[in-house]
Amino acid sequence: MHKKTTAFPIIHATLASLLMAVAMPVLAHEDIINTLPGDGATLQNSPEKIGVEFDGVMRITQFEVTGPDGSVRLDNQSGSELSERYFVKPEEALSSGDYQVNWRGLSDDGHMMSDGFTFSIEP
Amino acid sequence: MAMILAAAGFYLSALVASGAVLFRLAFPLLPDRERRRVARMGVLAAWVGIILVLLQWPLQAGYLGGGNVAAATDPVLLNIVFESSPGTRLILSVTGLLLVQAIQLNGLALSKGLSLAGMLLVMLAFTQVGHTVNAPRAVLGGLLILHLIAAAFWVASLWPLFRLVGRHHDRAYTGRILTRFGQIAKGGVGLLVLAGVALATLITGGLTPLLTTAYGQLLIGKVLIVGALMLFAAANKWRLVPAFERGEATAPRRLQHSIALEMVLVAIILLITAILTTATSPNG
């Protein structure tokens, strides 16, 4: 009698935790389908637009570009409405050097997301 | 880091608060003192859950604004969070966790109804964020609720069982409780298996994403850790159970250790779950 009962909590608990682990979401959320400029791209001139495009809607809440002169001032930064793409224009032409783009946002399914990409401008 | 801890704490307290309702329903003949203790555990967990889910709100706003204090109090960002699915989750879970506290009202049918409704609202809150919002939403959400109900019952049972085993009740009485727990857990595990496998299949679409994404690999790592613990639990069974049968003085203590180990396991699992669900980058 006791043989079975005392073992149940342990075995069931472990099974349960195993299944909890398996049932957790695995697929990524909205995937990036394109960045502008492409991740790691080397450009001849300052880009017209900088941005990111997703295969689903996303609410971008922060979008920052930093380069050799620090944070880049951006034009027409839109609000944080749900959108499949988010593009900004640098206020002034970018000088040569390496640039890092970082963004944060809230995906349609309520997950907070962050990512970034880099590009360079040749001297 | 604060976000991860708050998320893990919220998962734990929401599961314990909801599970306490189920535990009380499953064991209507618990002695008064134990019943009150389970109710107190549920109420305490509910309040901790409410505090943590409210704390998550500015933490999420802060994260979205670049991870600083100014962003955490920015009305625009707070509004974005509130108007999106985390906001719906917040409302549902706070309402649910308040209703769950009806567990304290002893023996009233109304108490059962209110606390059960509260538990369902908390479960519903979990379906608001994550992959279960995708189509087929009703199926995914329903499966997740079944899965969470079984998980909540199990998580909330650990502490009361730990106490029961540790107290010097007569062995026959503790044995009866454990038997009943075993019977319910059998059904519960069935529910967990079916709901879990169905969810995993629907959400991942197969094994490939598990193997090819960093996220999936982390999950596999976690499952392996749990698998190792399962071996430990099986080994334990052969050492513990005969000792319990013989009425050895150390047996209850050793069973307590096993349950304590499960609690640690729960904590680790919830922490990893929180890491995986708190902030993600696209493309796995």
Taking the CA of residue B110 and the nearest CA in chain A, the distance in Å comes to: 31
> Cβ contacts of residue B135 below 8 Å, gap of 6+?
none
Percent of chain B residues topping a pLDDT of 90: 32
Of residues B188 and A35, more confidence is placed in: A35
Tens of pLDDT, residues B160-171: 888 887 776 667
Task: Give the confidence band of A11 by pLDDT, cuts at 50, 70, 90.
Answer: low
Of B104, B138, B132, B134, the closest CA to residue B118 belongs to B104
Q: Using the predicted structure, report yes or no on whether residue B27 has a pLDDT greater than 70.
A: yes
Q: Using the predicted structure, report yes or no on whether residue B42 has a pLDDT greater than 90.
A: yes
CA distances A72 to A42, A50, A103, A118, Å, are 18, 11, 14, 13
Give the whole-angstrom CA distance, residue B18 versus residue B13: 8
Give the whole-angstrom CA distance, residue B243 versus residue B250: 8
Closest residue of chain A to B157, computed from CA coordinates:
A9
**From the list B203, B237, B283, which residue is nearest A25 (CB)?**
B203
- Residue A73: DSSP 8-state: P
Question: How far does Cα B234 stand from its chain's mean position?
Answer: 23
Partners of residue B206 in chain A, C-beta under 8 Å: none
Burial class of residue B198, CB neighbours in 10 A (0-12, 13-18, 19+): middle
Residue B188 is predicted with a pLDDT of: 74
Q: Using the predicted structure, report yes or no on whether residue B255 has a pLDDT greater than 70.
A: yes
Closest residue of chain A to B215, computed from CA coordinates:
A26
Q: Using the predicted structure, report yes or no on whether residue B58 has a pLDDT greater than 90.
A: yes
**From the list A15, A18, A59, which residue is nearest B84 (CB)?**
A59
Please, what are the domains in chain A? 30-121 (2.60.40.1220)
> Cβ contacts of residue A86 below 8 Å, gap of 6+?
A51, A52, A53, A58, A60, A63, A78, A103, A105
**Mean local confidence (pLDDT), B135-163:** 85
Of A49, A2, A26, A57, the closest CA to residue B178 belongs to A2
Residue B169 is predicted with a pLDDT of: 62
Q: Which of A51-65, A69-83, B29-43, B172-186 has the lowest mean pLDDT?
A: B172-186
Q: Which of B87-91, B157-161, B201-205, B235-239 has the lowest mean pLDDT?
A: B235-239
Angle at B200 between CA B127 and CA B21, to 5 degrees: 45
Taking the CA of residue A46 and the nearest CA in chain B, the distance in Å comes to: 26
Angle at B40 between CA B34 and CA B191, to 5 degrees: 80
Tens of pLDDT, residues B258-276: 878 878 887 887 887 787 7
For residue B237, give both structure tokens.
């069974």
Partners of residue B65 in chain A, C-beta under 8 Å: 61-62, 104
CB contact under 8 A, A5 and B279: no
**Mean local confidence (pLDDT), A72-83:** 79
**Mean local confidence (pLDDT), B46-64:** 95
Residue B275 is predicted with a pLDDT of: 77
CB contact under 8 A, A26 and B204: yes
Q: Using the predicted structure, report yes or no on whether residue B24 has a pLDDT greater than 70.
A: yes
Q: What is the mean pLDDT of chain B?
A: 81
Task: Give the confidence band of A3 by pLDDT, cuts at 50, 70, 90.
Answer: very low
Q: Using the predicted structure, report yes or no on whether residue A23 has a pLDDT greater than 50.
A: no
Q: Using the predicted structure, report yes or no on whether residue A26 has a pLDDT greater than 50.
A: no
Contact B19, B116 (CB under 8 A): no
Domain residue limits, chain B = 2-278
Residue B16 is predicted with a pLDDT of: 96
Q: Using the predicted structure, report yes or no on whether residue A107 has a pLDDT greater than 70.
A: yes
Tens of pLDDT, residues A59-71: 999 999 999 999 9
CB contact under 8 A, B240 and A6: yes
Compute, in degrees rounded to 10, the torsion defined by CA atoms B86, B90, B91, B94.
Answer: 170
Range 123-182 of B in CB contact (< 8 A) with A: 128-131, 133-134, 144, 147, 150-151, 154, 157-158, 161, 171, 175, 178-179, 181-182
Tens of pLDDT, residues B233-247: 555 556 665 666 667
Range 224-243 of B in CB contact (< 8 A) with A: 226-227, 229-230, 233-234, 236-237, 240-242
Tens of pLDDT, residues B93-123: 999 999 999 988 866 788 889 999 999 999 9
Residue A5 is predicted with a pLDDT of: 45
Task: Give the confidence band of B227 by pLDDT, cuts at 50, 70, 90.
Answer: low
Taking the CA of residue B198 and the nearest CA in chain A, the distance in Å comes to: 8
Of A35, A37, A31, A29, the closest CA to residue A86 belongs to A35
Range 93-122 of B in CB contact (< 8 A) with A: none
Residue B206 is predicted with a pLDDT of: 63
ipTM: 0.74
Give the whole-angstrom CA distance, residue A94 versus residue B209: 39
| pTM for this predicted structure | 0.82
Give the whole-angstrom CA distance, residue A64 versus residue A73: 9
Using only C-alpha atoms, chain A has a radius of gyration, in whole angstroms, of 22
Residue A42 is predicted with a pLDDT of: 94
Hey, is the C-beta of B184 within 8 angstroms of any chain A C-beta?
no
